[in-house]
Amino acid sequence: MAVVITQLFNGISLGSILLLIALGLAITFGLMNVINMAHGEFIMAGAYTTYVVQQAFSHYIPASLFNYYYVAAIPLSFLIGALLGFVLEKTLIRFLYHRPLDSLLATWGVSLILQQVARSIFGAPNVAVTAPTWLDGGLTIAGAVLPYKRLFIIALVTICMVSLYLYLDKTAAGRKMRAVTMNRSMASSLGVSTKKVDATAFAIGSGLAGIAGCALTVLGPIGSTIGTYYIVDAFMIVILGGIGSLIGTVFGALSVGMLGTIAEFWSGASMAKVIVFVAIIAFLQFKPAGLLSARTRSLE
């Protein structure tokens, strides 16, 4: 019984982590159709930001407040990610909106550079982030331990989703963004500054990657190459979910998470990875538009 609960929870948890990683892409790739291969490095930037914030707290802030470094790290990671994204959009992406394949190549170049820069600043070895003590331990349900860190990530991704939804649906800026992604020329002729919207949207998507990086520090390594672990998965999830559909991305992440954990439980981690990717590729053959698609006519 405990195993079933644990595994179910693991599936949801893995799904939530994948969702957090893919959420930023769902905006930059899903809504704006920009292939940003440096998305993984924005995750890395978020993780390093968390590390820096932690270092700063341990050096300059009374030890009693150390535990709150994480609270400060989340918005800061968002800001750093968003800033990087904004700069990237202004200097590179905006010249490449009509050349998606080229933006793929150029941003891959950016990702190489960011990795090397991180190595130069922080050194080649991994750095360690100590998770705040209030995230230690877990909730025990029927013999199954649900770690607080994983619960926290589920909560974090929910908050991100809800804020994103509110932003897109309830604020003027968000509605402008949706208008631009739906019909660029129409929005532009109605006086929406598409340039501004593009930059904002890209910054938000990149900022979400920063948050993902911050969240990942409590579970995994922090090094210059962590972005590369997630980037392909993230793109596949967005495609699987359906381009342009945030809800689709949620479903995509959760199904990959569940399938991954189930497959891993029955076979092994390597085979699980193979199974998940083969399943995604096969699924896209039957439904090229993904699980849910905002666009009516297939992948064009």
Is 185 one of the binding residues for other proteins (CB under 8 A)? no
Interacting residues with other proteins between 240 and 259 (CB under 8 A): none
Q: Which of the residues 208 through 227 are near other proteins (CB under 8 A)?
A: 216, 218-223, 225-226
Under 8 Å between Cβ of 228 and 40? yes
Query: Cβ 167 to other proteins, closest distance in Å?
Result: 25
271 binds other proteins (CB under 8 A): yes
- Candidate ranges 73-81, 121-129, 166-174, 182-190; the one touching other proteins (CB under 8 A): 121-129
Q: Does 111 participate in binding other proteins (rule CB under 8 A)?
A: yes
By C-beta, is 56 or 275 nearer to other proteins?
275
Among 138, 184, 188, 247, binds other proteins (CB under 8 A): 138
Q: With binding defined as CB under 8 A, does residue 166 bind other proteins?
A: no
User: Toward other proteins, which CB reaches closer, 248 or 260?
Assistant: 260
239, amino acid identity:
I
Is residue 113 close enough to count as binding other proteins by CB under 8 A?
Answer: yes
Tokens in use for 298? 């297939």
Interface with other proteins (CB under 8 A), residue total 84
What CA–CA distance (Å, rounded) separates 6 from 249? 24
Residue 183 binding other proteins, by CB under 8 A: no
CA angle at 9 for the pair 7 and 13, rounded to the nearest 5°:
115
Q: Does 268 bind other proteins (CB under 8 A)?
A: yes
> Quick one: how far is CA 30 from the chain centroid?
12
Specify whether the CB–CB gap between 210 and 2 falls below 8 A.
no
Could you tell me the sign of the dihedral formed by the alpha carbons of 86, 90, 92, 93, in that order?
Answer: positive
Q: Which stretch binds other proteins (CB under 8 A): 64-72, 89-97, 162-170, 205-213?
A: 89-97
Q: How many CB atoms lie within 10 A of CB 83?
A: 16
Q: Is 67 in the site for other proteins (CB under 8 A)?
A: no
- Residue choice 65, 121, 124, 141 for contact with other proteins (CB under 8 A): 124
What end-to-end distance do the CA atoms of the chain give, in Å? 46
Binding mask 35-54 for other proteins (x = CB under 8 A): x-------------------
